[in-house]
Structure 1
Amino acid sequence: MAKTKVAFLCLVLLSFSYASNDYGFSEEEVSAFTNPYVVTSVVSNTGGVTVQAQYQAPADLETPASEQIITNLAITIQYDNPYRVRFTMTDANNARWQVPNAIPSYTPSGAGSFYSLAPIVVGQPLSIKITRTTDNKVVFFLNPSQPFGYNNQDIGFANWLGYPIKVMGLGERISSFVLAQGSYTLYARDRGSPIDTGDTPDSNMYSSQPFYLAVDNQLAAHGGLFLNSNAMTAFVGSNFVGFRTTGGIIDFFLFIGPQPADVINQYHDLIGYPTLVPWWGLGWHQCRYGFQNISVVSSVTTSYTTYNLPLDAMWIDIDYMNQYQDFTLDPVNFPQASFTTWVTNLKAANKHFVPIVDAGIAQSAGYSVYNSGLNPNVYITSAYKNVPTTGVVWPGVSVFVDWFNPNANAFWTGQLTKFNTLTSFSGIWIDMNEASNFVNGEPGHPPSQITNLTMPYTPGQDVNDNSIDVASIHYGGILEYNVHSLFGFGETMATYQYFKGLNLRPFIITRSSFVGTGRYAGKWTGDNFSQWSFLAYSITGLFDLGMFGIPFAGADICGFQGNTNEELCSRWMQLGTLYPFSRNHNAKGSVDQYPWSFGSTLLQTSNIAIRTKYSLLLHFATGMFRVSLMGGMHFRPAFFDYPNDINLLNNATSHFMLGEGLIVHPCLWPGVTGSTSYFPYDLWYDFYQGTYMQLNYYNSAYLNMTLPGPIPIHIKGGYIVPTLDNSNTALDTISLRKSPITLVVALNGAFQADGHAVFDDGLSINSLSGNLYTMINYHYQYVNATTDTLIIQPTISGYTRANGEFPYISNIIIYGCVEGIRNVFYTTTAFSGQLNPVFLLWNPNTSVCKIILSSSRQLVLPDMAGQLTINFYL
């Protein structure tokens, strides 16, 4: 043992302990190898603690200089706010790579009473222990008796908790929501959806999202972000979460919780709230890879009208490009004249065009886009000579924009501006931006100067595999080695600047993401498969992206790779139309999967599903707006709303919440016409009919899931959801803005309910910053034995509706109404009187009341300046 390299040994044993089933080491055996850093200085102040620590190798172990051990650590423990702690560890003597831009600047506010830091003692091995004071539970422990290492290219640490935890997050991957114990690679890879169970390296995909949520055996939660862009492995054990990275620094944020939703909000408060979504972006989208020509695209667009199906956006994959070159049109199959006519007609029908743009720029002397980037030198530079580094993607040999170059934004927005004059797009789909490479490293050159043979530790396969050569150089001498996983983030920020310059909300869908991407774009889950398992995995994928602060997300509906069938596609239409981002898309060579492709069952189910989404579009828009305003998730696990119910965590994908008040039970299995489904302990009503759900002893009820038909949705007692009447006839979301509103009121046991609605123009990027929106609160309450009251009150009145927009409330439907309503009166700050509804209906069997108003009764306006009170007399 005396000749062993100690730091390497410690880190290897660290990884062995995380994967003890593979290597046979137990946690007890590993605990004999202690932290080799000893504290030499501690200075405390009101804002935190600064610590110096020095490496001290055990006397009987030899440590060669080639090990590149960082011998002196500078450590800062910063009290960010009462619910968040940040600690950084870096080389005290030399600058190291540190991630820029991912975290908006902030001013630490100091510690509160929700956590405490244990004393750090000079002369003792480095130890950091943080306790949540509300339950005296340790939520972070850098255990001095456990391995810890800090080498130039090999850094490892862990949070040893000493009690059982369930861990979520650590993306991007296809996995169960609660991660299995094992190791998980984090590095941006173009990899088509392998299923990751924690026991196979390199099952990661397009993004690096080193954030986790941990729930303990008492169902309390905390979270952690390891802000590091290098290739890394995350380790999930029964009572710890660890990281081993290939560079950078340790920059770790701890989120105190104690409930899961608290952790997510605390995380979003750090990384910034997501960008606003355009109103039309929440509608229905159609794409496919393999459109032969513009006539085929036009035929698909026309078929939507023929089948009387709503459509908001048509997408085209790389088929439209000339030789797969960005910002071009194929002159034969997509000639500009025909293309312009199609887009003009599309927009005249209130629909939008979204093209794909790939990361690789073709290296061709006759290609103007490539040439325009040479003079400002905006491309990543080769490690071998002072020319752009290259890879091979769809157009052949290609170069890649260096997003750290100060000229890159102007180059990119300039190309998008020119492209818009050619195509008149409404949004941009950025793909292949890991950045992907069909070869390993730079073609025409030997293996990279940095490989798994030169690195002391490699997370999974070689970092050059299907990647730009990691020895390539960015502006300022930054190595691709450090920033590979940031390429998609940089491209997303630059694309955002284009839309910002137009004062438009960005409609950007990206494949690769990093911490903070949601501030600029939405995301789809990539190249999934037309399989039942991926139908369920899509729910996990959206849960994860929502946690990562990217709530505007969706999966390719009916699956991208392989062939779907009518039943699977029908079930996916039911589910996928309730994703925030709803797009049908599949691969070249696969069977068509349009809503009309398989027959009447799919067609009818698709029509019901899309129109269900459209009926709830104001609810979706309000939920997404509120997420942009204050963080959190709209499409989320029911466990986040009911954090004391372990059944909801253990079976997370069998149900999900759509904002406040709605729970959905999708059908995820073939051959099923109904299922006994679990509900959280509460009052629930069938959303469509208003019938009260009679739950059995196990909080379950049988739900009908026959096809064709709607997906089961239920509303929680105590909530009010606005719906749009025109959803049954509208063919686009712009038409929905002319729709009257129906309020669905579900009463709780106290005969009360609350809800919200947000109104704005649905397009402007500054609606939030300029308070150019109106937020309405709805409150229904029991007054006495003969009177109930609905109060409609704006809390912010910054938006004036355009002529005809959301003109009035047409219906008020009350679930749990135990007695019929006989008279309705209204009161505002200006006038009062009696309403004379067209109908006052009550069904004593279902306890549903309906107040149906005439179109001339424009009294119940959603953006009134003052409070409106409606009194219902029983």
Structure 2
Amino acid sequence: MELLNKDTEAKTSSSGTFIVSEGGRGDRRVKRSTVIVACMTLTVLLAAAIAALVLYYRPQGDATSDSAAARFCEWPREAPEPDKCYQKPDSFGYKVSSGKIDDDQRDSEVKLRFSTELVAPPFSDVIENVTVHVTKLSDNILRIKIHDSDRSRYEVPVQNHFPLLQQQHSAENAAYTVEQETTPKGYFSFVVKRKDTGAVILDTSVGNTIMADQLLQFVTKLATKNVYGFGENPHTSYRHKFNSTTWPMFSRDEGPDEPPKNVYGVQPFWMCLENDGKAHGVLLLNSNAMEYTFHPEQILQLVSIGGILDFFVVVGDGPNHVVELYTDLIGKPFLPPYWALGFQLSRYGYNSTENLTKVVDRNCAANIPQDVQHIDIDYMDERIDFTINPVDFAGLQKTLSQYTAKGLRIVTIFDPAIIGNRTAYETYKRGFDKDVYIKWPSDVTNENRSNPWNDDVTMDVMYGQVWPPGPVAFPDFFKSATTEWWEREIAEFLKSLTFHGIWIDMNEPADFSANMFIPTLCDKKREDDDECWRLRCPFNKYDDPPYRTAAATLYNGEKNRLRDKTICMVAVQGDQNQYRHYDVHSLYGWSQSVATHKYKLFTFLFFSYKELI
């Protein structure tokens, strides 16, 4: 992967390739509901002879000569391979230009400017001027926001829902201190400590900070190796292992596979248990593709390919207290209805009302308790939302009403993707008229868009392929009109089918166009066409970022793109098209859950019952 642009490469001859890990790709699909909260791999090795954390680097050209590449490199005595080296430690970063972190103030900030001893940094589009803003939100919660001083960048909109940010709280008796420091060569760093014990929570002096347009890196020393959290990835233990394995975070429609692959959700929060039993947690509020790596030297390396570095440090008395404080910050989880804690039955493949009835009745006859019955997409007509298969699931409403009268609760599924080539499908038409779907950006011309042959493309809708047999549009839940449309469609469907809870699925969001062929989903203009229509993404900085995150490469090697198994990263979202899907991809499920919950709050859908989503 080239991390320098071509102009820089021509001037310095110091371009190179970072080595990223590869893995086999899982083939199985596991359907499951996920609500995504708030979302990159730089494989690193540590040289024992080098004190600071350094990046594993493969220079191009004659790296052994007195070239820029050679001056960038430092070879340990026992290099893993002769053509690989380590980036020199403490060789670039940010130096103070004005201001200072003042631990006596509620708010303080320091202005920094990029500096390097290298001919050129190992990445392009450096953010030259950076601001570090420190805010004491409360006695137990500290915010450290690192951002571009000169121009605004994408910031995670989820924070607009954080209760703690809605009003000011006292921080006169803070449980933490923040100290500004410098490295031996004068680069800025900071340390966050627990005030009563002096335990170090964050210490950024151990690695170079990177702030570039599509590559952010943050490296810190940790208090102990008793670290939990992050994900969603398959693990063999709850406690993290400090073995330099890099774990990606980027929502993906993939069942649990082998470590360290990323799957459905994104949780950029970690908790550390200190030596005396006290604990703290840290949230990195970033929703771009990310990676985290724990190194043997008790070091955590975080990498993101967009946004800003926005940390919330939660200092508690123990793990339970940290969770309490964390939910004070982001909001408490909704208490589910009592019946949702009971015995539930769910599967795909009942295939008919008759089979569903047999299963429920058989359980009842065997005195097996059941409180909730889920129905998957096979109840739909051609797997299309807000429809019922009139043949196989004839009489479904009557059957469910009978079970409801006996106390059984029903949970039905809704996928976000809406089929677009059915002339009589009113759900799609109403959404199209209200402009609720994710769009192609204006800077991608029609010639570079892969539009289906039989859908209306006048509104710039980006179509994809999921379960319905034809091109589908993806609702943009960052639009206010989409929430209103979604509420109406649920309300209309409730007139046709009894249900008490909603299962939202496939909201990574999933798209099959990139790497799956399902014959029943094939959409051709003519039967003799050579291939089916599918969504293809043009080459661009969002679908093909300069840093090759493992969120893509772990599944299908170096040639894989970031949009693998989802829609194009170049897509735009929001009422003003202010978001790129590149930035908000891992927030799609969260945004859908907010829209779904709003419907139930304002229409009293469940008749005084607590909601279940």
Class of the TM-score when normalised by the shorter of the 2 chains: 0.7 to 0.9
For structure 1, which segment, 406-415 or 121-130, has the greater mean C-alpha deviation from structure 2 after superposition?
Answer: 121-130
The code of the aligned residue for 1:99 comes to: V
SS at match of 2:489: helix
**Which residue of structure 2 aligns with residue 191 of structure 1?**
254
Show the 5 A alignment for 1:565-644: none
1:451 Cα offset (Å): 5.6
CA distance in 2, matches of 1:101, 1:41: 31
SS at match of 1:90: strand
**Which residue of structure 1 aligns with residue 26 of structure 2?**
none
CA distance in 1, matches of 2:16, 2:190: 20
SS at match of 1:501: helix
1:135 aligns with 2:226: no
1:151 aligns with 2:225: no
Tell me, yes or no, if the aligned pair for 1:7 and 1:69 is still in contact at 8 Å: no
**Which residue of structure 1 aligns with residue 269 of structure 2?**
211
CA distance in 1, matches of 2:605, 2:316: 35
Change (3 A) 1:81 1:444: closer
**Which residue of structure 1 aligns with residue 238 of structure 2?**
177
**Which residue of structure 2 aligns with residue 524 of structure 1?**
none
CA distance in 1, matches of 2:125, 2:212: 6
CA distance in 2, matches of 1:435, 1:5: 38
1:268 aligns with 2:324: no
Query: 45, 52, 55: which is aligned to 1:20?
Result: 45
Tell me, yes or no, if the aligned pair for 1:4 and 1:62 is still in contact at 8 Å: no
For structure 1, which segment, 111-120 or 386-395, has the greater mean C-alpha deviation from structure 2 after superposition?
Answer: 111-120
**Which residue of structure 2 aligns with residue 693 of structure 1?**
none
Change (3 A) 1:274 1:4: farther
**Which residue of structure 2 aligns with residue 432 of structure 1?**
506
1:120 Cα offset (Å): 5.2
CA distance in 1, matches of 2:216, 2:485: 37
SS at match of 1:194: coil
**Which residue of structure 2 aligns with residue 392 of structure 1?**
465
SS at match of 2:188: coil
CA distance in 2, matches of 1:28, 1:101: 34
Tell me, yes or no, if the aligned pair for 1:10 and 1:148 is still in contact at 8 Å: no
Query: 158, 183, 193: which is aligned to 1:101?
Result: 158
The code of the aligned residue for 2:471 comes to: V
Tell me, yes or no, if the aligned pair for 1:80 and 1:86 is still in contact at 8 Å: yes
SS at match of 2:550: coil
Unpaired runs of at least 5, structure 1: 507-760, 766-874
1:746-788 per-residue CA deviation (whole Å, 9 max, x = no partner) reads xxxxxxxxxxxxxxx8x257xxxxxxxxxxxxxxxxxxxxxxx
1:112 aligns with 2:205: no
Tell me, yes or no, if the aligned pair for 1:148 and 1:156 is still in contact at 8 Å: yes
1:299 aligns with 2:358: yes
Cα RMSD of the aligned pairs, angstroms, is 3.0
1:448-496 per-residue CA deviation (whole Å, 9 max, x = no partner) reads 4246644234233121100110101112231111010010001000110
The code of the aligned residue for 2:246 comes to: S
CA distance in 1, matches of 2:132, 2:20: 20
**Which residue of structure 2 aligns with residue 69 of structure 1?**
126
Tell me, yes or no, if the aligned pair for 2:438 and 2:572 is still in contact at 8 Å: yes
**Which residue of structure 2 aligns with residue 349 of structure 1?**
406
1:287 aligns with 2:350: no
CA distance in 1, matches of 2:606, 2:169: 30
1:245 aligns with 2:304: yes
**Which residue of structure 2 aligns with residue 497 of structure 1?**
598
The code of the aligned residue for 1:180 comes to: K
CA distance in 2, matches of 1:119, 1:283: 52
The code of the aligned residue for 1:488 comes to: G
**Which residue of structure 1 aligns with residue 288 of structure 2?**
230
Higher strand fraction: Structure 1 or Structure 2?
1
The code of the aligned residue for 1:191 comes to: E
Paired residues, what number? Answer: 496
CA distance in 1, matches of 2:181, 2:487: 50
Query: 533, 540, 547: which is aligned to 1:449?
Result: 540
Between the two structures, name the one with larger relative contact order (CA 8 Å, sep ≥ 6): 2
What is the aligned-residue identity percentage? 26
1:690-719 per-residue CA deviation (whole Å, 9 max, x = no partner) reads xxxxxxxxxxxxxxxxxxxxxxxxxxxxxx
SS at match of 1:70: coil
Query: 564, 578, 598: which is aligned to 1:465?
Result: 564
CA distance in 1, matches of 2:306, 2:53: 27
SS at match of 1:460: helix
SS at match of 1:50: strand
**Which residue of structure 2 aligns with residue 727 of structure 1?**
none
The code of the aligned residue for 1:264 comes to: V
SS at match of 2:137: strand
SS at match of 1:159: strand
CA distance in 2, matches of 1:303, 1:52: 69
**Which residue of structure 1 aligns with residue 228 of structure 2?**
168
1:443 Cα offset (Å): 2.8
CA distance in 1, matches of 2:181, 2:41: 26
**Which residue of structure 2 aligns with residue 788 of structure 1?**
none
Tell me, yes or no, if the aligned pair for 1:117 and 1:128 is still in contact at 8 Å: yes
SS at match of 2:211: strand
**Which residue of structure 1 aligns with residue 140 of structure 2?**
83
Change (3 A) 1:35 1:160: farther
Change (3 A) 1:247 1:267: same
**Which residue of structure 2 aligns with residue 314 of structure 1?**
373
The code of the aligned residue for 2:374 comes to: W
Tell me, yes or no, if the aligned pair for 1:231 and 1:459 is still in contact at 8 Å: no
**Which residue of structure 2 aligns with residue 57 of structure 1?**
116
1:212 Cα offset (Å): 0.6
Change (3 A) 1:232 1:223: same
**Which residue of structure 2 aligns with residue 732 of structure 1?**
none
The code of the aligned residue for 1:185 comes to: P
CA distance in 1, matches of 2:49, 2:572: 40
**Which residue of structure 2 aligns with residue 221 of structure 1?**
279
The code of the aligned residue for 1:424 comes to: T
CA distance in 2, matches of 1:216, 1:435: 37
CA distance in 2, matches of 1:296, 1:10: 52
The code of the aligned residue for 1:436 comes to: A
Query: 571, 582, 597: which is aligned to 1:481?
Result: 582
Larger Rg computed on CA atoms = 1
Change (3 A) 1:62 1:34: closer
1:121 Cα offset (Å): 7.1
Change (3 A) 1:451 1:243: same
SS at match of 2:132: strand
CA distance in 1, matches of 2:277, 2:329: 23
Show the 5 A alignment for 1:416-815: 416-440=490-514, 443-450=534-541, 453-461=544-552, 462-475=561-574, 476-477=576-577, 478-503=579-604, 763-764=609-610
The code of the aligned residue for 2:45 comes to: S
The code of the aligned residue for 1:354 comes to: V
SS at match of 2:280: strand
CA distance in 2, matches of 1:52, 1:37: 9
SS at match of 1:55: strand
1:39 aligns with 2:64: no
CA distance in 2, matches of 1:177, 1:129: 27
SS at match of 2:246: strand
1:213 Cα offset (Å): 0.9
CA distance in 2, matches of 1:379, 1:142: 42
